[in-house]
Amino acid sequence: MSMVSEAVRWQDQKLSLLDQRLLPHKQAYSAIETLDDAIENIKRLSVRGAPAIGIAAAYALCVSARQYAGEADFDRRLDIDFERLIAARPTAVNLRWAATKVREAAINANPGDALAKMIEEAETIHADDRAACRRIGEAGLSVLAELTPRADGALGLITHCNAGALAVSELGTATAPMYLAHAEGQKLHVYADETRPLLQGARLTAWELDQAGIPVTLLCDNAAASLLASGEVQAAIVGTDRVAANGDVANKIGTFPLAMACQHFGIPFFVACPSSTFDGHSATGADIPIEHRSAEEVIGSVGASVDVYNPAFDITPATMVTAFLTDRGVLRPPFADSLNLLRE
C-alpha cells in the first residue's frame, strides 16, 4: 500500500498541507491559519491533484469561517471567501464541488451551528475520498484482470503526472489499482512520465511507487510513444481534474499526446477518478477552463526573452478513453449514456 505522508492533514481542527514542491528531498507541512494561506498554497502547487485540492479547500473554508463565526455578516463574508477560493485554480472541478458542499452546510444550518456543520461536512468529504479511492482501485483490478501480461509475467502500465496518494487522501486514483494489484501479488512494472515542466511524475509518482516497492521506470514525456511501440506497456492509467458530460477529459498537459499514442498502438487508455470529478455543467472539453501558468516554469534560469505557451492542462477527447475507473464501478462507452446514469 501507499507509504507516503498524507497530503492534507486535519488534526485537532487545525489544517496543514504537505508542501509537495519540496518532495522528494524534504517532507514538510505548511500550517494553514487563514484563507490567504490556503489560496497561496493551492496556487503555488504546494497541494495539487483535484481531490486533494477539494479536501484542502473544504477545510480552508472552515478555518477562515472560524474567524467570523456568529457574527451578523457571516453569510456575506462566507460568500466572499467562497468566490476567492474557487478562483485559485479554475480547472479542477473538485475545488468548487467541495467548497460548495461546505458552504451549503452552513447555509442550511442554524446560525449558531453553521461552523460545526461546515467542519462536519469537510470531514465527511475527506472520509468519503478515502473510501472512493479504494473503490476506484477495485474497479481498476477488474480491468487489469482482462489484460495479458508480458512474457516476464508483469503487466506494464504507464501513467502521467501524479494521480497517486499525494493527489488525494490515501491510495490515489490512477495508482489505486496499482497498489491493490501489488498487494495481491500481481507482478507490475509502472512507467512514469516525468511530466514537464514541474516534473510531478518524476518528483512524486516515481518516488511514491518506489516507496511502496512497486517497480517503476521514469521516462521523458516525449519518449512515451517509443516505449508504447516496444510492446512493454499493456495499458495506460491516468487521473483527471475534470470530465465533461460527453466524456472529454481535462488532465495535466501531456495527457492528450499519450492518449493519441495509445490509440495508435491499440493500447487501452483508462481514466481513474471519483464521481465528484464529473462535471455535468461542461457539455464538452471546450467548456472547461484551462489554467495557464507562469512563463518562469518553462524558461527557468535560461532567461530568454521569448513568449511562452504554458497551459497546465489539455483535453483528451472521449473517443480516446477506453473506460473510466470510478468509485461507482467501470464506465464504458457510450459515455453520454454511462455518465448520465452516474449523475442520476
Length of the chain as a residue count: 344
Q: What is the DSSP string of 43-62?
A: HTTSS-SHHHHHHHHHHHHH
| Residues 144-343, CATH architecture | 3-Layer(aba) Sandwich (3.40)
Q: What's the pLDDT at 200?
A: 93
| pLDDT exceeds cutoff 90 at 145 | yes
pLDDT attached to residue 141 = 97
241 is catalytic: yes
Q: Which pLDDT band holds residue 2 (cuts at 50, 70, 90)?
A: low
Domain positions in the chain are 8-129, 144-343
Task: Cell numbers for 181, please give them.
Answer: 494489484
Tell me yes or no: is domain 8-129 CATH 1.10.150.120.
Answer: no
Please give the torsion angle defined by the CA atoms of residues 225, 156, 161 and 134, in that order, rounded to the nearest 10 degrees. Answer: 150
At which residue does the C-alpha cell 516497492 appear?
Answer: 213
Q: Does the pLDDT of residue 173 top 70, yes or no?
A: yes
DSSP 3-state assignment of 164?
coil
- Confidence (pLDDT) at 3: 57
Question: What CA–CA distance (Å, rounded) separates 170 from 2?
Answer: 7
Q: In this predicted structure, what is the pLDDT of residue 342?
A: 76
Q: Give percent of the chain with pLDDT exceeding 70.
A: 97
Question: Which of residues 18 and 183 earns the better pLDDT score?
Answer: 183
Per-residue pLDDT tens digits for 238-289: 999 999 999 999 999 999 999 999 999 999 999 999 998 999 899 999 999 9
Asked if 164 and 2 touch (Cβ cutoff 8 Å), the reply is yes
Question: For residue 192, what pLDDT is reported?
Answer: 98
From residue 195, give the alpha-carbon distance in Å to each of 74, 75, 98, 162, 222.
42, 41, 27, 9, 10
Q: Among residues 317, 207, 308, which one has the least CA distance to residue 255?
A: 317
36-49, pLDDT tens digit by residue? 999 999 998 888 87
pLDDT of 192-201, one tens digit each?
999 999 999 9
Write down the pLDDT at residue 1. Answer: 61
Question: Picking from 48-57, 113-122, 172-181, 281-290, which range would have the lowest pLDDT averaged per residue?
Answer: 48-57
Closest by Cα among 159, 160, 158, 161 to 233: 158
Q: 124 versus 22: which is more confidently predicted?
A: 124
Q: Distance of CA 329 to CAs 130, 162, 223, 280, Å?
A: 16, 21, 32, 18
The residue that leads in pLDDT, 316 or 164, is 316
pLDDT in tens, 95-121: 999 999 999 999 999 888 999 999 999
Please give the Cα distance from 137 to 294 (Å, whole number).
Answer: 34
Please say whether the beta carbons of 157 and 233 come within 8 A.
yes
Relative to beta strand 8-11, strand 14-18 is antiparallel
The span from the CA of 121 to the CA of 216, in Å, is 37
Mean pLDDT of 72-76: 92
- Residue 68 cell numbers, joined: 467570523
Catalytic residue chosen out of the listed positions 241, 248, 279, 314: 241
